[in-house]
Structure 1
Amino acid sequence: FAGILLWYKLQKAGFNNVRFCEKGGDVGGTWYWNRYPGVACDVESYSYLPLLEEMGYFPTMKFASGFEIMEYCQRLAEKFGFYDHCLFHTTVEKTVWDESAGRWTVMTDRGDKMKARFVILANGLLTTPKLARIEGMETFKGEAFHTSRWNYHLDLKNKTVGIIGTGATAVQVVPELAKIVKKLYVFQRTPSSIDVRDQRETTPEEIEIWKQESGWARARRARFAKISAGRTALKANDDYLSGRVKDFKVRKHHERELSPEELMEKQLESNFRIMEQIRARVDAIVVDPKVAASLKPYYPYGCKRPAFHDEYLPTFNMPHVTLVDTAPRGVSKINENGVIHERTEYPLDVLIYATGFKWQETATFNMIVGKDGQSLRKKW
């Protein structure tokens, strides 16, 4: 959304001579690149999607699917004329300051050399796939791809599929894969904490109330911004966010001011109680005790990105789904047939990498060259 919102603000301020460079083929950023089955946002849509009132748009679900978000980005771009100012399939390779001209020279992989008084970086984060370096991965003869480069030309029906990774992406993908494949192997190094999702449709009653309430989306987002606890933010309490109650939790009052060490201890105790609830949920849902034990997170809350899903854990009760616990090192070898773990070969037709992204590892710092030829990376 960074580029689209930037254009929305700039054009309202009277700027017209603006160009955006986008390496993808459309708007959407993360939601352009990540179009795997089950993709969804884990922040409630009523707070996450910008300019809802300006668009007269009401999300269909409390937690919007990635496909709805992608379509919403396209609507924004069309309504505010963003497409007329964007160069798609265009990657900025270098941006150099010209002292004599008092301008930046922006060079792209398509041979452009644009002069600009101002350059704004709106690169985003979750766009560049990260592949684990696994011995023999290049020898695999089946189909293989990363979740953010999903191969929709490939029919997965009646296929034996393996997926490496059990983070936030895999938690969304695994239940969808299990619905269509013949056999599914889930290779897990570290279990995720799987909390209750409580997904629901937006009700007609809510829409009618919002239509009558000027500034409803901004007010909701302002309340959301006051939530300091990660789990509370992700659960997105409707009573608080809609303004029906004044606070998102009951505030505790202590007889005296607590020391930083005491506050930390209380936070750890609170986190332990949360993790015990999450671990108990695994026992309540997963039938096989050995599988349940492997799926239980063993670390304090928040040490691994928390996940929320209501179909992920039940998936491991299906007879054609196998959890392969590869702790603590993860998958260490792949051959032409599939994955090998502890001398057991798992033959696969398709291997999917749900191994995350290069977090903030873009070339931005190297491509910005300022005064006296100094790069941003060197300066920092």
Structure 2
Amino acid sequence: MQNYLWTIVAVLVSAAVALVVVEVVHRLTRSLGRRSLLLSELSDHAHRPFRVAVTVLAVQIAFRAATRPAAGATWREALLHILVLVVIVTTAWLVASLLLVTEDTALARFRTDVPDNRQARRIKTQIRILRRVTVAAIVVLTIGVALMTFPSVRGVGASVLASAGVIGAVAALAAQSLLANVFAGVQLAFSDAVRLDDVVVVEGEWGRIEEMTLSYVVVQIWDDRRLILPTSYFTTKPFQNWTRTQSDVLGTAEFEVDWSVPVQAMREELRHAVETTELWDGRVCVLQVTDAVGGVIRLRALVSARDAPSLWDLRCFVREHMVGWVRDQRPTALPRMRAEIGDAAGDLAWQWVQPRRPEPSPAEEAPDDARVFSGSDDGDARGTTFVGPEEPAEAPR
């Protein structure tokens, strides 16, 4: 009876001392955390696992020291084994909490709610992937260490190692796609090909990278749908990333009008229209004739915006404004189908009037609004980047 009472007293005293030590460390960490974000996060989020782990460890040490092994006392060994398992689990909980707090502190230093957040999004993506790898590794190691405390598991270790080659080959074949996605997720985290909050075009859908894991990527489509793709998709198939270097993008709006349209007047109207909206970022506003076949000419308006959502609204605004301008101000420029009745012997005006030959005028310099790859600093830079292919040599006759 005295042994039992001594054991209970020793366990309670050890637990009380552990709680006092934990409370002192907690108060000291909180006082120092006023000047350190890391210590503040540790005192708030790692206090509970630290208290449980230290208390269980103190109880295990006190119980082992207060009791002595005796013949037939299997309850002691069983209770010690249970305490060891609890120590292993609580220690893993504490280590995971410390690592997660460290990762959260690192994330807090990088803001993603600022215009230029490319670096912050890259770091955020890498830390999110590392967090999942860390948690998975701690869980696997904890289970492995816990299993090794059983003598029967240690006894079959030799046979398991002997057949590890065969089991590894079978597991690799069975989990080939899973492992491919895991390695693809790690590759995406450190290759900087795609990051959280990047605007991408995949499978014909335009959206934003909402979540990235080791096995899949969630793309939030512009209409609030979610497109879930395996991570290996982004390493094996081409996709568009509109915000890899910057969020500024260009967009087009095309019009088919009659040949009689005054292109320069339409160009000036386009410039006037984009200057009245805050959707335009002031970089590019170009109107060019890109085709002239089939009885109509095709005009392409090229405009720029600070991001993809603004560009969408800007393109719609340009279409609505220019369609209304052509309809109200230049109705003769609306697309039309022409038909002529007669034959070659008729006396229609177009058959006998000689075409006028105007005096040749000196070539006029095209305005900036008629150029994409020259005429401005931004256009010159774009022209230097996209030189284009050389003209193919003529085939020998």
Point out the structure with max Rg over C-alpha.
2
Q: What's the TM-score bracket when you normalise by the shorter of the two chains?
A: under 0.3
Question: What TM-score does the superposition give when structure 1 sets the normalisation length?
Answer: 0.19
Question: What TM-score does the superposition give when structure 2 sets the normalisation length?
Answer: 0.18
Specify which structure has the higher proportion of helix: 2
